[in-house]
Amino acid sequence: MNTLKGLCASKGIGIGTAYVYVKPFITIENNIITNDQKETEINIFNNAIKKSSDEINNLISISKLDDQKHVLTAHLEILNDIALIDETINKINNDNFPSDRAFKETVDSFIAMFENIDDEYLKARGEDLKDVYVRAICNIKNIPFTDSLDTLEKDTIIISKDLTPSDTIKMDVDNVCALVSELGSKTSHTSIIANNLGIAALVGANDVCKHVKTSDVVIVDGFNGNIIINPDDETLSSYIKKRDEYLQHLKDLEKVKDLPATTLCGETLSVCANAGSVDECVKAFEQNASGIGLFRTEFIYMHSNHFPTEEEQFEIYKDVAKSSNGKYVKIRTLDIGGDKELPYYEFDEEENPFLGLRGIRLCLKLKDIFKVQLRAILRASAFGTIQIMLPMVISVNEILDTKKLIDEVKFDLDKENISYDKNIKVGIMIETPASVLNADELAKNSDFFSIGTNDLTQYILAVDRGNSNIANLYDTFHSAVLKSIKIVIDSAKKNNISCGMCGEFAGNDEATKLLLGMGLKEFSVSSSKVSQVKHTIRTNKISDCANIFNEYL
Amino acid sequence: MTEKTATINNPTGLHARPASQLVNFIKTFENKVLFIFNDKCVDAKSLLNILALGLKADTVLTVRVEGDNSDDVCTKVCEYIENIKE
């Protein structure tokens, strides 16, 4: 028995037989050809491109998945790219390179160009180019390019250096129970395929191809990144149990979807979802979320080339309201500034953007722009239960100033005979230390609180969450952060207003029970986590969780 | 030869699908079409070349067309670029 490590790229547990998938090994020598060999080399190259194109066209015709078809169509375009072909032929003609070397150097220069662009999407195109390269170079060198993943034994675990779309297109997916690769990141093709299939995957597993042999019995643990080779009986049976429990857990979650978030002690809580677009709201309500605990509006501003007009915003908020079928939606007003910029507005250079002109501060400075948003939100409130949520608040004055603007907008709407929800609720995000310490006063002027744990953790601990040198210090479980959360929950309760949490912490598996015990009544998480949080709530009593808080102090 | 400038209005810049449609559009002309941006001058009939320019929203690039009807072709290419929307 031997254990290796990888990075978890897809959850699950796979137990099966290893298949070590090794791609053809290609050597390119640095030799030079004579002038009369040029014509032959150009022919070899052109024929290889033709043959590779035929192969890809054949794959497109047998592919059943639209995603794969798109990838392969892109491969076909890349393969026949005029610059790629011309440059290769130039290298054969002018530099006297043989076709394989000419093609390799051309491809390498393009890959280098893509890797230098600061854009994840374009970097991924570099990966496509590598995939196309392997197929074409095999045809140039007349090495068989095998699609050997097309017939597999039941419960196969594929161990590879890296899996590309060309490898997985013909993969016999019904018989694969896990993927492990030496290269790749959590966003690479291996992990996308595994997540789609719902099987375990590990990436970045160093030297796994050396240590594992085809036919070895392997356990892949997609939760803690372990690869266990030829496990003993005891380990094997404990993992079989773990795997079956996980599969059962997935079935339970599916069932939980249609049930209320009621604890074992009989209290029903709200499990909401966070969203940033109408599509995400629709997805959230498909998961039976109790509402939208945070609707982010900054994307509407960021994906535009001008401050979005009232009509543009109204259409979006109206669609959001309509998608909710009477459930509530908390629309957070523009939270931008500092590190998040707008292409059409020049922010002053700031030394400490996170302590600068952002959130409600910016909105109250750009009052005319803020009123456009408030007016769009108020108009949409005629179509559903909409609430207004203010970001980055530190004092009561900010709430009062905003309410004054809301009253002005309401006055105008009344005058124009436009309908809106006259009792629209106005609440605040709790994400600054000041708002924690002043929670009592703020509660008297708010209809609800929503704790934003990402910023709150950063500000309470004075730890920049983007700074990798101190990444280990960024910890929402820190007692100072938990005490702050407790103060806020208690103040809200005392003043009889609702208190939710919309930061990532609310969806953290370990944190749900802790927060339940601390008295949190509304959890707002990404829609994919709604069932998970609901399941935890349904299997616990609040009184049993009350003591977890003390364990962290 | 004609040169004109065009602005990329598409908020997400020039990504694969619009870029590939643009290349296919340019390929319908016999003319040599070049894109000039950031001191680089590339053949616009190559998707790889265009993607490698890393053109983002609001960038202004120069389009150079050689051969017959270059003025007309250049205007058409510029209009196509400015109207790209995903």
Q: What is the pLDDT of residue A146?
A: 64
Contacts for A491 with CB less than 8 Å, ≥ 6 apart: A439, A440, A442, A443, A449
pLDDT tens digits, one per residue of A355-401 = 999 999 999 999 999 999 999 999 999 999 999 999 999 999 999 99
| Residue tagged 């790229």 (tokens) | A9
A80 touches chain B (CB under 8 A): no
B46 → closest Cβ in A81, A119, A304 = A81
Query: Reduced to 3 states, what is the DSSP secondary structure of residue A158?
Result: strand
Sign of CA dihedral A249, A250, A253, A254: negative
Active site residue A8: no
Tokens of A503: 């930061």
Q: What is the pLDDT of residue A45?
A: 96
Identify from A70, A73, A115, A122 which residue to disrupt to test chain B contact, counting B C-beta atoms within 10 A and taking the largest count. Answer: A122
Q: Residue A41: pLDDT band by 50, 70, 90 thresholds?
A: very high
Task: Give bridge partners of residue A275 from the DSSP assignment.
Answer: A295
Choose among A223, A333, A261: nearest CA to A524.
Answer: A261
Do A125 and B43 count as a contact with CB atoms less than 8 A apart?
Answer: no
A112 touches chain B (CB under 8 A): no
Q: What is the pLDDT of residue A73?
A: 85
Q: Residue A186: pLDDT band by 50, 70, 90 thresholds?
A: low
- Residue A375 DSSP one-character state: H
ipTM of the complex: 0.82
Size of interface A-B (CB pairs under 8 A): 48
* Residues in B touching A119 (Cβ below 8 Å): 54
* Residues in B touching A118 (Cβ below 8 Å): 54
A303 touches chain B (CB under 8 A): yes
* Residues in B touching A114 (Cβ below 8 Å): 51-52
* Residues in B touching A121 (Cβ below 8 Å): 15-16
Task: Evaluate if residue A24 carries a pLDDT over 80.
Answer: no
Q: What is the 3-state secondary structure (H, E, C) of A485-548?
A: HHHHHHHHHHCCCEEEECCHHHHCHHHHHHHHHHCCCEEEECHHHHHHHHHHHHCCCHHHHCCH
Q: Residue A339: pLDDT band by 50, 70, 90 thresholds?
A: low
Q: How do A7-10 and A200-203 pair as beta strands?
A: antiparallel
* Residues in A touching B9 (Cβ below 8 Å): 305
- Residue A148 DSSP one-character state: T
Q: What is the pLDDT of residue A26?
A: 80
Can you tell me the distance from the alpha carbon of B74 to that of B84, in angstroms, rounded to the nearest whole number?
A: 16
DSSP H or E stretch at residue A426: strand A425-430
From the candidates A8, A75, A138, A189, which is the catalytic residue? A189
Choose among A359, A450, A367, A355: nearest CA to A401.
Answer: A367
Active site residue A189: yes
Do B52 and A82 count as a contact with CB atoms less than 8 A apart?
Answer: no
* Residues in A touching B52 (Cβ below 8 Å): 110, 113-114, 117, 122
DSSP H or E stretch at residue A89: helix A82-95
Q: How many Cβ atoms are within 10 Å of B63's Cβ, its own excluded?
A: 24
Mean pLDDT across the stretch A461-486?
89
Do A84 and B48 count as a contact with CB atoms less than 8 A apart?
Answer: yes
Q: What is the pLDDT of residue B30?
A: 93
Report the residue of chain A nearest B24, measured CA to CA. Answer: A77
A303 → closest Cβ in B11, B16, B49 = B11
Q: What is the pLDDT of residue A116?
A: 77
* Residues in A touching B25 (Cβ below 8 Å): none
Do B46 and A83 count as a contact with CB atoms less than 8 A apart?
Answer: yes
A114 touches chain B (CB under 8 A): yes
Report the residue of chain B nearest A85, measured CA to CA. Answer: B46
Mean per-residue pLDDT of chain A: 90
DSSP secondary structure of chain B: -EEEEEE---TT-S-HHHHHHHHHHHHTSSSEEEEEETTEEEETT-HHHHHHTTPPTT-EEEEEEESTTHHHHHHHHHHHHHT---
Do B48 and A81 count as a contact with CB atoms less than 8 A apart?
Answer: yes
Q: What is the pLDDT of residue A117?
A: 75
Report the residue of chain B nearest A114, measured CA to CA. Answer: B52
B54 → closest Cβ in A84, A110, A122 = A122
Q: What is the pLDDT of residue A167?
A: 76
Do B48 and A122 count as a contact with CB atoms less than 8 A apart?
Answer: no
